Structure 1
Amino acid sequence: MLILGFYYLINKTIDTIRPQYLETVEESINDTSNVLSSLIEVDLQKKNTPITDKVLQKSIRDNLFPVLAKAKSRKFQAKIYSFTKTQVDIQVYATDKNGIVIFDSEGFREGLDYSKFNDVHLTLQDKYGARSSLIKAGEDSSALFIASPIRFNQSIVGVITVIKPKDNIAVFIDLAKAKFYQASIYVAIFIAILFLILVLITLRPISKLSRYVKGIRNQEKIQFPKINIPEIRLLGQEMDRLIEELDGKKYIENYTQTLTHELKSPLSSIIASSELLESDLPMNKQLSLISNIQTEGKRIQEIIDRLLDLASLENNKNINLKEEINIKNTIEDCINSCEPELTKKRIQVISKLENKFILGNIFYFRLTIMNLLKNAIDFTKQNGKIQISLEEKSNKTWELIIWNESTPIEPYALEKIFDRFYSMPRPDTGRKSSGLGLSLVKQVCSIHGFKIEIQNENSGVQAKIIFPIS
C-alpha cells in the first residue's frame, strides 16, 4: 500500500508539471504580445490621418516586419539548462477589427478570416484571448496563441497574436519530468532505507522485551533488559509492574505478615490485661489495665481506619481533582482540629500563609495535612514549636513546609519513612502508630502530581509538599 501510495503521488505530481510549464510560458508570451501591440499604438498616435485598415497594416508592417525578420535570421548558442537554443521560433500575426489577418510573419495567413478563433474573437470583445492549436492544418506541431488588442482613441482597431511552438516547451517538460523521476527514485530509496532502519531500531527492543516477558512467564530469574527507546522502555517497565501486581504473591504475603504482626501486639496486650482483671487486684491496678485495654483497642481501631482510607484511595479511580482548595483555610482548619493535643503539650504553632488556591481533592488534601500535622505534634518536644509556611519558588512551584522541633530522624529510618506499617516510637509514650499515615500522604501526593519530602532540618524535622503553581 505504501508503494502504491508513493507511485500515485509521483504520477499526480508529474501530471502537474506540463500545465505549470505552459502557464509560465503563457505569461511570458502575454507580455511579448502586449509589448508589440503597445509599439503599434505609439506609432498610430503619431499619425495625423484617420486610422483605416491600410494605415494599420502599414504601421504593423513597418514596425514589426524588419524586427521579426532580423530576429529570425540571427544564429546563436543559448545554453538553457540542458537545452541549447539556436534561433528565435516565435511567430506573429495581426488582424483588423473584423478579424481578417493583415500581417503574418510567416506569410501564409494574410487575408484569412480568424474572427472565429478564440485568440482573436475574445480579444475583439475586450476579453483575454488565447488558444492552443496546430500551427498549420495537417501538421503535428501545436502552439500557444496569445493575443492582445491594438487600441486607438479607446477603441479596438486590431489584434496582435504571438505564437509560441510547443516543441521547445516539450523539451523542457521532458527534462523536468526526467529530473523529477530521478529525484523521486533517490527519495524512495532514502525512505526505504530510513524505514528499514526504524523498523530494526523498533523491533530490536521489542524482541528484548518479548524475551524478558517469556523468561518471567517461565519463572526464570532474568534482569530487565536495557532499552534505549524511552517509550518502549516505559512500556516494558509498566508491563513489569503489571506482571508484578498480577503475580502479587510477595506483596500479599508481606502485607499479611506485617498486618498480623502489628495486630498481634495490641491483641496480646488486651488478652493479657483481660486475664489479669479476672484475678483479685487492687482498684488502681484494675483501672490501669482497663486504660491499657482502651489504648490498645484504639490502636487497633486506628490501624483499621487507616487501612480503610488506603483501600478507598487505591480503589477509587474517579477521584475529582478539580476542586478549588484554599490552602490557608484548610491548614487553619486542621490546626483548630488539633487544638486539644497542641494545648496538652503546650506547642506553639507559627504559620506564615497566604490565601493561595490549588486544584485537587479537598477531602484527601485535608487528610494529608492532618496526618502531617498529627505526626509533627507526636514528635514535637513539650513546649516546642511547629512552623508552617508556604513559599513560592522561582521554578514555578510552591512549597508547603511543616517543620517541628524534635530529635532528628536516623538515616536508616528516613529511607523507610513512607513504607506501610513502618513507625517510630513516640518520644512521650514510647508507643508506635499504625505506620500507615505517611504511606497515605505519599499516595495522595502521587495522585495529585505533588512531591513529598521529609528530612532533618535546623534541629528538627521538616515535611515539604511541592506542587505546581495553578
Structure 2
Amino acid sequence: MHIGLRIFFGFFLIVGLAAFLTLRVFVQEVKPGVRQAMEDTLVDTAHVLAVLAADDLKSEHIADGAFARRLARLREDKVDANVWGMHKDAVGYRIYVTDERGIVRFDSGDAGTSATGATGADYSRWNDVYRTLRGQYGARSTRADPDDDASTVMHVAAPIRDDGRIIGVLTVAKPNVTMAPFIARSQRKILLNGLLLMGGAFAIGLACTLWLVHGLRRLQRYARAVAAGERAEMPLRGASELAELGRAVQGMRARLEDKQYVEHYIHTLTHEMKSPLAAIGGAAELLQEDMPAADRGRFAANIGRQAQRLEQMIRKLLALAALEQRQRLETRERVALLPLIGQLLQELEPRARQRELSLRLLPPAQPDPAVEGDPFLLRQALANLLENALDFAPAGSAVDISVEQAGATTAVRVADQGPGIPDYALPRLFERFYSLPRPGGQDKSTGLGLCFVREIATLHQGAIALANGARGGACATLTLPSA
C-alpha cells in the first residue's frame, strides 16, 4: 500500500475511532442527563408544594380546600411557552397527596384532564410513598402501559410535616416522554457536530497527508536525480523534518560528490598531462646535447608550446570544475544576444583575418532576440563555439552565426564549412579531454571547451547540440530560455 494511504488511513482510523467513542458516550449520556435534571426539578417542586398543601391536609380539606382549587384553576389556564424552540401548551405535572397510612386523599389526575379516580387507593407500597413515610428520599419510575417502555412516568415525593411529624406525602409525577423532544434534539445536534468533526478531521488528515506525501515525493525525485548524476537543487525549505532530511541528503551528496570529483579529476588530469610532459622531457634531454641552433630553437619552441598547453589545460579544467560544482545560476538577467555576439565577432576578427576567414552574423527574424541568464557565462559559451568553428573552418570560407527565437526558447547556431564531424566522434564530443585533430596540422585542443559549453547550457536549463550540416561542415546549436 502507498505510504500516503497508510498515513491517511492510520490518521483517520485514530481520529474516527476517538470521535465515534466520544459521540457514543455523549449520545448515551444525553437521556440519563436530561432525566437527572428533570428529577432535580421535580424534587424542588415536590417540596415547595408539600409546604403549600400541609394546612389543607391537617384540616382534612386536601380534596376540596384552597390547594385543590388552585390546582384545578391551573389546569384551566392556558400555557403558551416556547422552550428553546419547543412549544409547550399544557402543564405536564400530576400531583397526588397521601395520608400517613399511604391512602390517596387527593389526585390532580394527568395533565389537562380531571381526576383519574385514584382518590382512596392504597399507595403505601409504591416506592415514592413507602420510602418518604419512613423519612427517606422517595422516587420511582413506573410504566403507565406495562407493554410500552416509552410510557414511563417519573414520580418524586416530598414529606408533608406538622411540627416535624410526617403526616402525609405529596408526589409530583411527570411522564418521561415529555422530555423526549429535548433528548432527540440534543442527540441530533451531537451527531451532527460529530459528523462535522469527523468531516473536519477527514479534511485535515487529507491535507496533512497530501502535504507530507508531496514533500516525500519531491525529496524522492531529488534523491533520484542525485543518484542519476543530474544537477538538482534541494527542493524543500524551512525548518520541517522533511527539509532537515533533505539538507542531510544534500550534505551527504556534496561530500560524496566532492570525493568522487577529486578522484576523477586527478585521474583524468594526470592521464592528459602525460603526453605534454613526455614531449617536454624528451625535448629537454635533446637540448642537453650539442645540436645546430635551428634544431635547438625548434625543441625550445616545442617545450614552450607544451608548457602553454599544460597551463591552458589546468586553467580550463579549474574553470570547468568550478562550473560543475554550481547547482544554480547566481546571476540571472535579460541578455540581448545581438550586442553580445557583435562584441565577440569584433574580438575574434583579427584571428579570423589571419586565417583568411570571414565571420558573418545573419540578420534575425526578430528585432531584438534576448535570453535569460548570466551574461558572463553566456559570453564564454559563445566564445568557445566560435573559436571551435574558427579552428575547423578552411581558409577562404565563412563562419555563419544565426539567432532564431521560437516561443519560449532561443537558438544560437554557429556553422562552419569545415570537414564536419566523423561518425565515430559524434557520441564522444562532450567527453572531457576528447578532441579531434585540427586541419592544417594544428595542435589538438584541451578537449574541455564543449564540456564547458554543455555545463553552461545545463545551468541555464538549455541544451547544446552538434551535428553535421546539410551542405557540409559542422553546426553547433545552443538553445536557451527566451527572456
Residue 312 of structure 2 is aligned with which of 302, 308, 315?
A: 302
The 1:357/1:237 distance shift into structure 2, 3 A limit, reads closer
Amino acid at match of 2:412: L
The structure-2 alpha-carbon separation of the partners of 1:173 and 1:462, relative to structure 1 and needing over 3 Å to count, comes to farther
Aligned CA distance change for structure 1 residues 4 and 254 (closer, same or farther; 3 Å): closer
For 2:450, the aligned partner's letter is L
Q: CA deviation at 1:313?
A: 2.0
**Which of 324, 346, 365 matches 2:356?**
346
388 and 291 in structure 1: CA distance in 2 versus 1, 3 angstrom threshold: same
CA drift of 1:334 comes to: 1.5
Match of 1:266 in 2: 276
Measure the CA separation in 1 of the matches of 2:373 and 2:197. 56
The question of 1:235 aligning with 2:196 is answered: no
CA contact (8 A) 1:421 1:434 kept: yes
Higher relative contact order (CA 8 A, sep 6+): 2
Instruction: Please give the alpha-carbon distance, in whole angstroms, between the structure 1 residues aligned to 2:401 and 2:264.
Output: 36
Q: 1:184 to 1:265 in 2, by over 3 A?
A: same
CA distance in 1, matches of 2:325, 2:223: 23
1:259 counterpart letter in structure 2: L
Q: Which residue of 2 aligns with 1:361?
A: 374
Structure 1 residue 341 displacement after superposition: 1.8
Sequence identity percentage: 26
2:337 is matched with 327
- Which residue of 374, 383, 391 corresponds with 2:404? 391
TM-score by length of 1: 0.54
1:135 counterpart (76, 83, 88): 88
1: distance between equivalents of 2:431 and 2:375? Answer: 24
Indicate the residue corresponding to 2:465 in structure 1. 453
Contact 1:320 1:360 in 2 (8 A): no
Higher mean alpha-carbon deviation, 269-278 vs 247-256, is at: 247-256
Residue identity in the other structure for 1:383: G
* In structure 2, distance between residues paired with 1:318 and 1:259: 26
Corresponding position: 1:311 with 2:311? no
Question: What's the secondary structure of 1:412's corresponding residue?
Answer: coil
1:373 aligns with 2:386: yes
- 8 Å Cα contact 1:398/1:468 also seen in 2: yes
- Structure 2 gaps of 5+ residues are 1-10, 28-74, 94-177, 230-249
- 1:321·1:448 contact (CA, 8 Å) conserved in 2? no
Would the alpha carbon gap of residues 176 and 348 (structure 1) be closer, same or farther in structure 2, given more than 3 Å must change? farther
Ranges in structure 1 where 5+ consecutive residues have no aligned partner: 16-105, 120-129, 141-165, 207-228
- 8 Å Cα contact 2:469-2:475 kept in structure 1: yes
- In structure 1, the residue corresponding to 2:429 is in which secondary structure? coil
Report the 3-state secondary structure (helix = DSSP H, G, I; strand = E; otherwise coil) of the residue aligned with 1:386: strand
The whole-number CA distance in structure 2 between the counterparts of 1:356 and 1:194 is 47
Q: Which residue of 2 aligns with 1:7?
A: 19
Alignment check: 8 A CA contact 1:449 1:467 kept: yes
TM-score normalised according to structure 2 size: 0.52
Range moving further from structure 2, 457-466 or 167-176: 167-176
Question: Who is 1:279 aligned against?
Answer: 289
> One-letter code of the match for 1:467?
L
| Matching residue of 2:104 | none
In 2, the alpha carbon distance for the partners of 1:138 and 1:308 equals 100
- Give the letter aligned to residue 365 of structure 1: L
Q: CA deviation at 1:385?
A: 1.6
Contact 2:457 2:479 in 1 (8 A): no
- Give the whole-Å Cα distance in 1 for the aligned partners of 2:374 and 2:411: 18
How much does 1:138 deviate? 3.6
Tell me the alpha carbon deviations over residues 186-237 of structure 1, each in whole angstroms, 9 at most, x when there is no partner. Answer: 989999x999x99xxx8xxx9xxxxxxxxxxxxxxxxxxxxxx786355345
The structure number with the bigger radius of gyration is 2
Give the corresponding residue for 1:291.
301
Aligned to 1:101: none
Amino acid at match of 2:458: S
Answer whether contact 1:453 1:465 (CA < 8 A) is retained.
yes
Q: Distance in 2 between matches of 1:183 and 1:388?
A: 70
Deviations 1:383-417 (A, max 9, x none): 12211111122x42111111111122123312111
Distance across 1 between alignment mates of 2:475 and 2:182 = 83
**Structure 1, 372-381 or 402-411: larger mean CA deviation:** 402-411
What are the superposed Cα offsets for residues 146-190 of structure 1, whole Å, 9 maximum, x if unpaired?
xxxxxxxxxxxxxxxxxxxx9998799689779969988998999
RMSD of aligned alpha carbons: 4.7
Provide the C-alpha distance between the structure 2 equivalents of 1:133 and 1:178, rounded to a whole number of angstroms: 18
4+ runs deviating over 4 angstroms:
106-109, 130-134, 166-191, 239-254, 315-319
Counterpart AA for 2:426: L
2:349–2:359 Cα contact (<8 Å) kept: no
Q: Match of 1:406, as an amino acid?
A: G
- Per-residue displacement from partner, 1:52-89 (whole Å, max 9, x unpaired)? xxxxxxxxxxxxxxxxxxxxxxxxxxxxxxxxxxxxxx
Aligned equivalents of 2:194 and 2:468: distance in 1?
70
Equivalent pair of 2:329/2:373 in contact (CA under 8 Å) = no
TM-superposed CA distance for 1:247, in Å, is 5.2
Contact 2:329 2:460 in 1 (8 A): no
Instruction: Decide whether the 8 Å contact of 2:400 with 2:414 is kept in 1.
Output: yes
**Cα distance per residue 1:327-368 (max 9 Å; x no partner):** 111111111221222112211222124533333222211111
| Cα deviation, residue 461, structure 1 | 1.0
Output the amino acid matched with 1:380.
A
Aligned position for 2:423: 411
Equivalence map 1:10-409=2 (5 Å): 108-109=77-78, 132=85, 135-136=88-89, 138-139=91-92, 232=220, 234-239=222-227, 241=229, 252-315=262-325, 319-352=329-362, 353=364, 354-393=367-406, 395-409=407-421
CA shift, 1:292, in A, is 1.7
Conservation of the 8 A alpha-carbon contact between 2:435 and 2:445: yes
Cα distance in 2, alignment partners of residues 270 and 262 from structure 1: 14
1:325 Cα offset (Å): 1.9
Q: How far apart in 2 are the matches of 1:357 and 1:349? A: 21
Native 8 Å contact 2:369 2:410 kept in 1: no
What secondary structure is seen at the aligned counterpart in 1 of 2:372?
Answer: strand
The 1:451–1:173 alpha-carbon spacing in structure 2 relative to 1, beyond 3 Å, is farther
Using the alignment, how far apart are the partners of 1:311 and 1:250 within structure 2?
12
Aligned residues: 308
Report how far residue 282 of structure 1 moved.
Answer: 2.6
Matched, 1:466 2:482: no
Number of the residue aligned with 2:50: none
